[in-house]
Structure 1
Amino acid sequence: MRTKHLILILIGVILATIIFIIFGPAGEPNDSFKNIVVQTHQQLKEFQENLRVGLERKKLELEPKYLALLGFTSPLSTKDTEQYHKYHVEPAPKQQLQQQHQRDKQTSQKQQLTETPGSAIKAELELIELRQLHGAHDSKGSAAPESDLQQKSQRKRITTPYNGTKANFTIVTYVLEGQAPSVILLAQNIAAKLPNEYLLIYDLGVSEEQLRALSAYCNSSRCAVVTYDLSEFPSFVTDQRTHAYRPIVIKDALMRAKSILFAENYMRIRGSQHEVQNLQSRVMVSGVLGWNTPMAVSSRTHPKMFDYFESDADDFIFLRMVDLDVVFFADSLFVTEKIMLPWLKCSLTLECIDPIGAQSNGCKFNKKPLYRYSGCHGYDASAFNIVLGLTWHLDDSKYSLPSDAPSANMFYKESLEQATKILESRRRNSSEISDHPFTEE
């Protein structure tokens, strides 16, 4: 498109020059021609400069303060992170990945102690405060006293990277204002289906009333609420349309556990502990594991987003898009640098995550061919899939399972409206409680 415009400009200049020479004032053709040549040369230089500036603006960068907030304390290779998609990375064996993880952890701890002692101490104090608040709950799992809940709801928001002991595996979700019923039922679902697993809920701005209600249900040693402060990031991060906060939540959770299952709060689990453990073992090899959909990445991604990854939408027409409803992640240097860093760079760049003209509705999936852009953008999910595709050279079998695989039946959705009705019926001690699907197969 830019080449076409340049050619048209040159043709126009040449025609104007010929006409001016033919019909221009006698005796002054040479001077006029010289002026036209000078002006044309100047315009071409300006055009090239604007083109260069435009390309530079589309390079993804992350400000140092955001790198620090997100826990990128180890030196990152600029060359490797910018050219990550040019290398084919074979999955490391599980034992090798674990050994690498241990070395990375030791190195990170040393750097945190030597480079950012203030942040590390502050983070540890915040975590001690959280543990003390959780320890005040009744060991039998009953609701905490009202005074205790009020104290918990007034706790400080986490603003520094986690620097404590990692859990082996954690289920991670988040809650926004008005979503408390969904999270409460998810907590109960996990307690019933996966009683040995830990649940971490990120409070991204719920009211004190909803936080107290949530805390009454999340009151065991295997459930915790982290009130995370998004105000340190650009204001557009809180936009529910773009979901730019999801990679932030996932990155923070990966500093707290060796592997996680990220799940939207409307998701429910019907699978067994054994099935989850099998998938957990698999993600320790691949680093990321999700379920793909029949849609192509190109059909759900605004064309301008590809420019920021120096890629072409045509390369993604046969790549299936992975849904972010439920995804397994493993903590490793590979995932940190090759997946999380470029994903976060795009999510924290407004023009990348939300290109001009992007929208979340009005999808037209009946366009032919089906891989054409549907007019409906996936925002953080689109950026996530571009990163995955570039990292694994457009081979989705490296990081995803088919949507019709038996493992996909482990999960199902429950709308916020359904969750609200279920909680209301329980409060009224209604017999409708038996209609809850997670007790049924």
Structure 2
Amino acid sequence: MRTKHLILLLIGVIIATIVFIAFGPAGEPNDSFKNIVVQTHQQFKEFQENLRVGLEHKKFEIDPKYLLLLGFAPSKDASSQQQQQLELEQRASSHQLPKTDLPASATKAELELSELRGLQHAQDAVTFGGRGGSREQRGQRRRITTPFNGTKSNFTIVTYVLEGQAASAILLAQNIAAKLPSEYLLIYDLGVSEEQLRDLGVYCNNSRCSVITYDLTEFPSFVGDQRTHAYRPIVIKDGLMRAKSVLFLENHMRVRGGSAQLQKLQSRVIGDGSLGVLGWNTPTAVSSLTHPKMFDYFESNAENFIFLRMVDLDAVFFSDSPEVTEKIMLPWLKCCLTLECIDPIGAQSNGCKFNKKPLYRYSGCHGYDASAFNIVLGLTSHLDNSKYSLPSDSPRNMFYKETLEQATRILESRRRNSSETSDHPFTDD
């Protein structure tokens, strides 16, 4: 708002200067004219300084605890303080030092994580059958944010389910079992009811399908906002700690291909020239679906992305490589854990106006986590989307969408034993 007022003031001063020059007395410039010129110059310098300071302040400020929860190595400063932290903890426990003297740093987060690792066996692969275990066990299962440190599988399909989406997740599990029977599906429960969790457990309770109840309350409250989807990179990062490569799918996505087509896509993800990520791009420019203020956090601007196609997050392959971890997942998560980056003031997800000319102008709609993802991909690839995406109409796109309404209708029809093969297209190639 201050910037807007300053711009209006500058415009007014410039107009006044022009009028004075056009209609003022001839001859030597008087003192008033000199003052106007000096003030205009000074205001312009202040305007530039305000912009510079504003950009400098737009930096990621992440609590080290969150990065540790996501499996990132602590900073060197935190590592060097670990021994000191342990000594302070020992002294405090022996009453040599009050507990309040313990520093609140990344090393404290490490201690918290070490306490949580006692629950690791309950976190590795949580399945929910008919009985579901004791209340205490269910309480432990809900506290799953400790980084996984077990043996990784080669490949895993990862999705998540929110309250009211159980029907979509159930049909995805059936779809994967039919089309990709040798692949493992991991479903992250991000807050469904006990009833829906039991329903999901009936269909996902075998050696190829598991449910993990993930506790988002360990992160800032805005991470659970369904509008921003800031939890998606968290789910993907946890999946990459459990598998060498993952296919992230929204639970409304379905597979129409088979194992041979999947293997071809997997080989492309790890092929030469690839970033270790593979998605499907749309005709929409990244600049059209990204709030201009988000670019500031990545020290870039919208003009750099006007010809870069937007990749959606409905279906994306990720490989667990150092490049993906440090150059893609880390900056993406930093933005999603910074409220002003993921959700700039004025951002909204509806009211898109794609009829603006030129078409790459900001449409008024912001993609939140998808926008941050595309900025990171663009900067990492030097704006070459062929390194990480295929056209959405490519024959190699083996996925399609099924709405929640369709999934609910199909599931209810099956439960009434009145379904027909034509009700559900996922068995058709």
**Which residue of 280, 299, 306 corresponds with 1:291?**
280
Does the 8 Å CA contact 2:130/2:198 hold for their aligned counterparts?
A: no
* 2:60 counterpart letter in structure 1: L
Q: 2:345 aligns to what?
A: 356
Percent of pairs with identical residues: 72
**Which residue of 119, 123, 146 corresponds with 2:131?**
146
In structure 1, list runs of 5 or more residues that go unmatched: 16-29, 31-35, 78-113, 138-143
- Number of aligned residue pairs: 386
Confirm whether residue 425 of structure 1 aligns to residue 413 of structure 2: yes
Does the 8 Å CA contact 1:426/1:433 hold for their aligned counterparts?
A: no
TM-score by length of 2: 0.79
Confirm whether residue 69 of structure 1 aligns to residue 62 of structure 2: no
1:310-349 map, 5 Å: 310-349=299-338
Distance 1:197 1:349 in 2: 35
TM-score by length of 1: 0.77
Does the 8 Å CA contact 2:125/2:212 hold for their aligned counterparts?
A: no
3-state SS of paired residue (2:251): coil
* 1:289 counterpart letter in structure 2: L
Does the 8 Å CA contact 1:320/1:396 hold for their aligned counterparts?
A: yes
Q: 1:211 aligns to what?
A: 197
Does the 8 Å CA contact 2:156/2:247 hold for their aligned counterparts?
A: yes
Q: 1:22 aligns to what?
A: none
1:409-420 map, 5 Å: 410-420=398-408
Distance 1:149 1:188 in 2: 28
| 1:118–1:430 Cα change, 3 Å | same
Confirm whether residue 128 of structure 1 aligns to residue 121 of structure 2: yes
Does the 8 Å CA contact 1:119/1:160 hold for their aligned counterparts?
A: no
Higher mean Cα deviation, 56-65 or 185-194? 56-65
* 2:196 counterpart letter in structure 1: Q
Deviation string, structure 1 residues 410-438 (Cα, Å, up to 9, x no partner): 11111111111111111110043541111
Deviation string, structure 1 residues 207-244 (Cα, Å, up to 9, x no partner): 11111111121100111111111112111111111111
Does the 8 Å CA contact 1:123/1:161 hold for their aligned counterparts?
A: no
Deviation string, structure 1 residues 63-94 (Cα, Å, up to 9, x no partner): 211111111115489xxxxxxxxxxxxxxxxx
Deviation string, structure 1 residues 88-112 (Cα, Å, up to 9, x no partner): xxxxxxxxxxxxxxxxxxxxxxxxx
In structure 2, list runs of 5 or more residues that go unmatched: 19-30, 78-106
1:16-35 map, 5 Å: none
Distance 1:294 1:45 in 2: 40
Q: 2:427 aligns to what?
A: 439
3-state SS of paired residue (1:382): helix
Deviation string, structure 1 residues 11-37 (Cα, Å, up to 9, x no partner): 79999xxxxxxxxxxxxxx9xxxxx9x
| 1:217–1:12 Cα change, 3 Å | same
Does the 8 Å CA contact 2:64/2:74 hold for their aligned counterparts?
A: no
Distance 2:388 2:126 in 1: 38
1:270-289 map, 5 Å: 270-285=256-271, 286=274, 287-289=276-278
Deviation string, structure 1 residues 353-378 (Cα, Å, up to 9, x no partner): 11111111111112222111111111
Which gives a bigger RCO, structure 1 or 2 (Cα 8 Å, sep 6+)?
1
Q: 1:179 aligns to what?
A: 165
* 2:426 counterpart letter in structure 1: F
* 2:324 counterpart letter in structure 1: V
Q: 1:104 aligns to what?
A: none
Deviation string, structure 1 residues 168-201 (Cα, Å, up to 9, x no partner): 1000000000000000110111011111111111
* 1:146 counterpart letter in structure 2: R
Q: 1:90 aligns to what?
A: none
Deviation string, structure 1 residues 117-145 (Cα, Å, up to 9, x no partner): 746654543231245864xx8xxxxxx44
